[in-house]
Amino acid sequence: MALATEQFILNIGPLHPSTHGVFRMRVTLDGEIIQDVEPVFGYLHRGLEKLCEKHTYKQNIPLTDRLDYVSAINNNWPYVAAVEKLAGIQVPQRAEFMRVIMGELQRIASHLLAVGSLMNDMGIFYTAFMYMFREREKIIDLLEMVTGQRLLYNYMRFGGVSMDFPTEFLPALADFLKIMPGYLDEYDTMLADNEILLSRTKGVGVLSAAAAIDASTSGPMLRGSGVKWDLRKDSPYSVYDRFEFDVPVGQNGDCYDRYRVRMEEMRQSLRIIHQAVEQLPAGSEKTSVPLRLRPAKGEVYTQIEAPRGILGCYLVSDGTEKPYRCHFRAPALINLTVLRNLLIGQKLADAIIIFGSIDISMGEVDR
Amino acid sequence: MNWSLSPDWPGNFWLRLIIIAVVIIAYVMSSVIMFIWMERRVIARFQSRLGPNRAGPFGLLQAFADTVKILTKEDIIPTLADKLLFWIAPAIAFVPTLMIMAVIPLMNGLQLADLNVGVLYIAAVSAIASIGVFLSGMAGNNKYSLVGAIREIAQLISFEIPMVLAIAGLVIASGSMSVSGIIEAQNIPFILVQPLGFMIFIVAILAEINRTPFDLVEADSELTCGFNTEYSGMKFALLYLTEYSEAVVGSALIATFFLGGWRGPLLPGILWFAIKMFASFMFILWLRGTLPRLRIDQSMRLAWKGLLPLAFVNLFIIGLKSVFLPDLSLWISVPAYILISLILVMLWAMFMRKERQSFGG
């Protein structure tokens, strides 16, 4: 006699330790195997894009911090660059280098958090997470030195950055650059060859290169699938064409590759910061911009390589001091669209890891 | 100096029973408190944190503070829960862990019952505790708990067999099924005589007591604590206590079966036993601070394809040795067996790695 069975619907989230914010997955399970997933988001929707239309151009800079609150500096960048392009503001060389240094520091901090919480999802009881937080703390201290803030820095301005580096910053940064590679090696000895980690992540959540391109994913998600596409290299913005660095790519597109890509990117970011500090020119950190900025009528789209992928800003100006329309291309949201295809047929425990390896930030997904 | 308790002290059978029962319960409870403290402090050090250090010296009273907090919480029973099971499941989970301690000598003679089938008794009773955990997961009418409960039973069935087979190796090596007999036979600790058995046993016991990397039942990052999600107040305290007394029993079993129990020079037996027990727990904590969690199918694969064949091989080798070479000197047999174990484990690790790669990894 066959037992009557039925499918089992489990709501993971919106409040769940591993959903990295308020994300909800409505999972249909057959035992432990996932039959269907319905991602539900919007719990953190704050109407940021609409808010941008109600504020002046300058007032919008702090709002962009709140997009992806884990990498605030990188979020200022496309918006500031868009306004600069629209109003034809020239950015001093020193400011461009400072943006690169701060942006790359922020990228390392963001990747540390991503890898740390991925390990947490995998069940290393906070050890890897705390280790990575130890180094993230050092980065935040550095950023605090310059901006006075620890999470939402509100750092960039039209035509430059808000503050020049204080005198103690560059020596502290040199110290950090000296010790950080050792810490990265420490993580690798701890994690890279761990048999359980390999068996949990290898071959799990495979995203083929074609599927990654079709879904227009970007960032470590795309590069983990073996597509060598990094805006810093392929369509250099700011002063990225002056630095020498590699674009790490994975082979299989599984969770392990995405994790390895993030680890490698941290090393490359360190290389970039090294070169940027060496080439840092003297000069002013910002140009003067009219207080009531009224860019000419028109529209503009700029994009940068944020830690989570390509972050774009589409801006329409109607000649007043408020933007007519401001839209952000949020990499986390677009990377998330492949979630359903990745999860179906996997185990429940893998769902958490695959979701963690996408590395979303709900502030950016819901906006 | 001879630290031992004579079998007829203090004369009256019932009095002896009551005194020893109280001593054992007190021992388990105080160990639980120490374990909780150790877990929090040691894990904190692993993670470059300080851990609790406010309540009492070195945070030693943290466990008491937590207990007071838990007991003052509202005791919630979900509307759709199976009320009877929800009530008795924590007790069903907790009592067997104490029952196992009845046959484990804390020192020479300090043992509630020296059963001549003590090993069998341990194997039987330890399974009941898992049923308690299963029931508590099922009764709460929570889907996370249910998944945890299903995992618990799958894990119990899979890991019980290699564990019992590893103990069977000890029975052959010592020629006794009583726990005190096994300790009596350990002129050198069985970790050296039965290294392979030790490895199998320690992996199986980790799965039995739901410790990393086999904490699938709780899996806080997946199942939000699994079987105890719905529990609060006193009943949660009991489940929490169960978890740690299982850890106490697990480390006590490792200490008894493989590290020579209460035996040791100079110090009194109960102290040696405690030292060995805490050392075992330290090892468990070390694993918890380092390893990720296995997936359920990987854990099953480990049990059935990895541990079970190894346990049979171990049993076969020790059987051959005790039939054909019963008088082989320890100086030869111990290094030889350690070598054989190492080779077997290496082969096994290679096999498991191949296996993983064949699954796409």
State percent of chain A over pLDDT 70.
100
Q: Which residues lie closer than 8 Å to A279 by C-beta, 6 or more apart? A: A97, A242
For residue A193, give the DSSP letter: T
Average pLDDT over residues A350-367: 85
Whole-number Å distance between alpha carbons of B214 and B300: 10
pLDDT digits (tens, 9 = 90+) for B155-202: 888 888 898 898 888 888 888 888 888 888 888 888 888 888 888 898
pLDDT digits (tens, 9 = 90+) for A154-184: 888 888 888 888 889 989 999 999 999 988 8
Statement: residue A6 has pLDDT above 80: no
Q: Does A34 touch chain B (CB under 8 A)?
A: no
Are residues A347 and B293, on separate chains, in Cβ contact within 8 Å?
no
Q: Does A47 touch chain B (CB under 8 A)?
A: no
Whole-number Å distance between alpha carbons of B51 and B49: 6
Chain A residues near residue B212 by CB distance under 8 angstroms? 123, 125
Are residues A347 and B361, on separate chains, in Cβ contact within 8 Å?
no
Chain B residues near residue A196 by CB distance under 8 angstroms? 213, 291-294
Average pLDDT over residues A61-85: 88
Fold of the domain built from segment(s) A44-366: Cytochrome-c3 Hydrogenase; chain B (1.10.645)
pLDDT band at A298 (very low <50, low <70, confident <90, very high): confident
Cα B223 to chain centroid, rounded: 23
Chain A residue with the nearest C-alpha to that of B350: A195
Are residues B289 and A350, on separate chains, in Cβ contact within 8 Å?
no
Contact B216, B294 (CB under 8 A): yes
Q: How far is CA A250 from CA A212, A221, A222, A264, B335, in A?
A: 13, 10, 9, 10, 45
State residue A2's pLDDT score. 75
Q: Does A135 touch chain B (CB under 8 A)?
A: no
Nearest Cβ partner for B295 among A31, A127, A347: A347
Buried/exposed code over A82-97 (b: 16+ C-beta within 10 A; e: otherwise): bbbbbbebebbebbbb
Chain B residue with the nearest C-alpha to that of A31: B147
Chain B residues near residue A203 by CB distance under 8 angstroms? 359-361
pLDDT digits (tens, 9 = 90+) for B95-141: 888 888 888 888 777 787 778 888 889 888 888 888 888 888 888 88
Give A279 to chain B, closest Cα distance, Å.
36
Whole-number Å distance between alpha carbons of A252 and A208: 7
Q: Does B106 touch chain A (CB under 8 A)?
A: no
Chain B residue with the nearest C-alpha to that of A135: B48
Q: Does B45 touch chain A (CB under 8 A)?
A: no
Secondary structure element (H or E) that encloses residue A301, with its range: strand A298-306
State residue B190's pLDDT score. 81
Chain A neighbours among B 129-188 (CB < 8 Å)? 143-144, 147, 150
Chain A residues near residue B216 by CB distance under 8 angstroms? 349
Delimit the domains of chain B by residue range. 76-323+330-358
B110 three-state secondary structure: strand
Are residues B220 and A203, on separate chains, in Cβ contact within 8 Å?
no
Are residues B216 and A349, on separate chains, in Cβ contact within 8 Å?
yes
How many CA atoms lie less than 13 Å away from B262 in the CB half-sphere?
20
Nearest Cβ partner for B147 among A124, A196, A348: A348
Statement: residue B305 has pLDDT above 80: yes
pLDDT digits (tens, 9 = 90+) for B31-79: 898 888 888 888 888 888 888 888 878 888 888 888 888 888 888 888 8
Average pLDDT over residues B18-38: 88
Provide ipTM, 2 decimals: 0.79
State residue A65's pLDDT score. 87
Cβ pairs A/B, distance under 8 A: 99
Whole-number Å distance between alpha carbons of B148 and B140: 11
Are residues B294 and A130, on separate chains, in Cβ contact within 8 Å?
no
Are residues A16 and B291, on separate chains, in Cβ contact within 8 Å?
no
Q: Does A125 touch chain B (CB under 8 A)?
A: yes
State residue A1's pLDDT score. 61
State residue B342's pLDDT score. 87
Statement: residue B361 has pLDDT above 50: no
Q: Does B42 touch chain A (CB under 8 A)?
A: no
Closest CA to A73 of A142, A166, A23: A142
Q: Does A18 touch chain B (CB under 8 A)?
A: yes
State percent of chain B over pLDDT 90.
0
Contact A332, A211 (CB under 8 A): no
Contact A27, A37 (CB under 8 A): yes
Are residues A121 and B221, on separate chains, in Cβ contact within 8 Å?
yes
Give A8 to chain B, closest Cα distance, Å.
8
**Distance in angstroms between the alpha carbons of the first and the last residue of chain B:** 58
Are residues A125 and B289, on separate chains, in Cβ contact within 8 Å?
yes
Chain A residue with the nearest C-alpha to that of B39: A125
Q: What is the largest CA-CA distance in chain A?
A: 83
Delimit the domains of chain A by residue range. 44-366
Average pLDDT over residues A3-10: 80
Residues in chain B: 361
Average pLDDT, chain B: 84
Average pLDDT over residues B257-264: 82
Beta pairing partners, A11 = A26
Is the full-model pTM beyond 0.90? no
Contact A200, B299 (CB under 8 A): no
Average pLDDT over residues A109-136: 86
Q: What φ, ψ does residue A328 adopt, rounded to 5°?
A: -110, 135
Chain A residue with the nearest C-alpha to that of B229: A16
Whole-number Å distance between alpha carbons of A54 and A367: 16
pLDDT digits (tens, 9 = 90+) for A252-290: 888 888 888 999 999 999 999 989 998 888 888 888 888
**Distance in angstroms between the alpha carbons of the first and the last residue of chain A:** 52
Are residues B291 and A203, on separate chains, in Cβ contact within 8 Å?
no
Whole-number Å distance between alpha carbons of B192 and B337: 8
